[in-house]
Chains A and B, each alone.
Chain A
């Protein structure tokens, strides 16, 4: 059973209104369990919209989305996925552990079980001693780690991430990428990861989905083969640079097409 199936999905915002937007057109994507898939493309290509469709935060105009073999709406009700955003989005009136416990609270877990799971997740993201801290006492990178711990607290098989490291500095960012890979390897979680950073997509992904704007389409899917174990040496390996080059060329193709399109319109 595939982790995610996006079946002939189109999304139009403000249907039948003057300000309507064709966000996505005829998207077809299948993601297998345990895969790490990045969505990359210029702004306005609908990568975040696609992620939100998988999360059932919005409904497709045409087509359907299956998560874990069930309709996306059912998967959301079953909390089959965890989600992390560019802003950590921690609740500033809750302590770190209470933030991680929130999805479990909503599932109706009792307090002892929640506490134990929160501690387990804090150890996974290497912040065990910060359970009682308040979010504002943590650095940006630490807050993002708590957000990832929260997203994974219910042990969902799928993790959806929308530019989660976009607001971090380069050093923290690379560190977090390595940790995310370790966490995914340890938990076997499938990841759909929205980014606009080419090296980030290349370093993390098994496959990179390259998208083009107006309307958002998938133009190319690039396999990245960096081997099972990626580490800091990977960032200097030739095969890493080759991947970066092929992603970049795919993105350039979009750019050129857009420029040609602009000329043709005149």
Chain B
């Protein structure tokens, strides 16, 4: 990408963001809004820098939960998608379930998990992230393994290719972009799930705990500082997954779209 195009892509939203923050500051100052209603950006920023270590350690807790769930969910999802491809009956059993789960707020299961483990355990949250990531990866990768170009299958048959060769030389490479599309969807979802899981109780150490608890104590600027931390963590996860996807896109010209279910 040329410098000019980078500037064209970056400068307008940056200016908009700056104007937005300055406008926010002006409104808070101009109408003399009370900090418990809406703190000024300058107050949020100083709360953020004052509490940087606290925000960082809370972000590490939530980030670790999201990352562990993302990795385990992806591994299990990939493994299960191979089973689904191999056994049609399993596919017919699981696919409607995976789609139906999308219509159900399964996040509430975290309360059930919390009940199963000790109150100091991080397992319930990680389990919740794992479960949500699992279905996103499962549905997408299974689609990539199954939806192989018919011409490719006929060619492989004309080469008298073994089932193992068809798997390694056709189905798996075909599914690879679907995996990265799934990761792009799953990565931000994993972070959101980790935050929301913390709302349901358990250890009081993550971003999802400190945001409401600081609001409850009327320390609104500090709560907003944790919101900044949450935004940064979510962005980090998203950017890494977009980077991974763009690498595979570049080597193939284009990647297929993915489904969220």
B15 within 8 A of A: no
The distance in angstroms between the C-alpha atoms of A89 and B149, with both chains bound, is 8
Q: Say whether A83 contacts B155, CB under 8 Å.
A: yes
Q: Taking the nearest CB of chain B, how far is it from the CB of A263, in angstroms?
A: 38
Known: A57-B154, A91-B152, A93-B173. A106 touches B161 (CB 8 A): yes
Contact with B along A83-114 (1 / 0, CB 8 A): 10101010111000000001101100000000
The distance in angstroms between the C-alpha atoms of A136 and B254, with both chains bound, is 9
The distance in angstroms between the C-alpha atoms of A91 and B253, with both chains bound, is 12
A55 within 8 A of B: yes
Q: Say whether A102 contacts B169, CB under 8 Å.
A: yes
Q: Say whether A57 contacts B157, CB under 8 Å.
A: yes
What residues on A are CB-neighbors of B243 within 8 Å?
none
Contact with A along B155-176 (1 / 0, CB 8 A): 1011111000100011001001
What residues on B are CB-neighbors of A135 within 8 Å?
253
Known: A85-B154, A91-B173. A134 touches B251 (CB 8 A): yes
Number of interface residues of A (CB under 8 A): 24
Smallest Cβ-Cβ distance to B252: which chain A residue: A92
Smallest Cβ-Cβ distance to B152: which chain A residue: A89
Number of interface residues of B (CB under 8 A): 19
Smallest Cβ-Cβ distance to B149: which chain A residue: A89
What residues on B are CB-neighbors of A105 within 8 Å?
169
B151 within 8 A of A: yes
Q: Taking the nearest CB of chain B, how far is it from the CB of A229, in angstroms?
A: 31
Say whether chain A's binding surface is mostly helix, strand, loop, or mixed: mixed
Q: Say whether A83 contacts B158, CB under 8 Å.
A: yes
What residues on A are CB-neighbors of B160 within 8 Å?
76-79, 106
The distance in angstroms between the C-alpha atoms of A103 and B170, with both chains bound, is 13
Q: Say whether A55 contacts B158, CB under 8 Å.
A: yes
Q: Say whether A76 contacts B254, CB under 8 Å.
A: no
Our pick among B157, B170, B253 for the contact of A137 (Cβ within 8 Å) is: B253
A81 within 8 A of B: yes
What residues on A are CB-neighbors of B152 within 8 Å?
89, 91
What residues on A are CB-neighbors of B149 within 8 Å?
87, 89
Known: A91-B152, A106-B165. A81 touches B158 (CB 8 A): yes
What residues on A are CB-neighbors of B151 within 8 Å?
85, 87, 89
What residues on A are CB-neighbors of B173 within 8 Å?
91, 93
What residues on A are CB-neighbors of B254 within 8 Å?
136
Q: Say whether A134 contacts B252, CB under 8 Å.
A: yes
The distance in angstroms between the C-alpha atoms of A194 and B151, with both chains bound, is 16
Show 19 A/B contacts (Cβ-Cβ < 8 Å), sorted by A. Answer: A57-B154, A57-B158, A77-B160, A78-B160, A81-B158, A82-B158, A83-B154, A83-B158, A87-B151, A89-B149, A89-B152, A89-B155, A91-B173, A103-B159, A105-B169, A106-B165, A106-B169, A135-B253, A136-B253
Q: List A residues at the B interface (Cβ < 8 Å).
A: 52, 55, 57, 76-79, 81-83, 85, 87, 89, 91-93, 102-103, 105-106, 134-137
Known pairs A103-B159, A105-B169; list 7 more (Cβ under 8 Å).
A83-B155, A85-B151, A85-B155, A89-B152, A93-B173, A102-B169, A106-B165
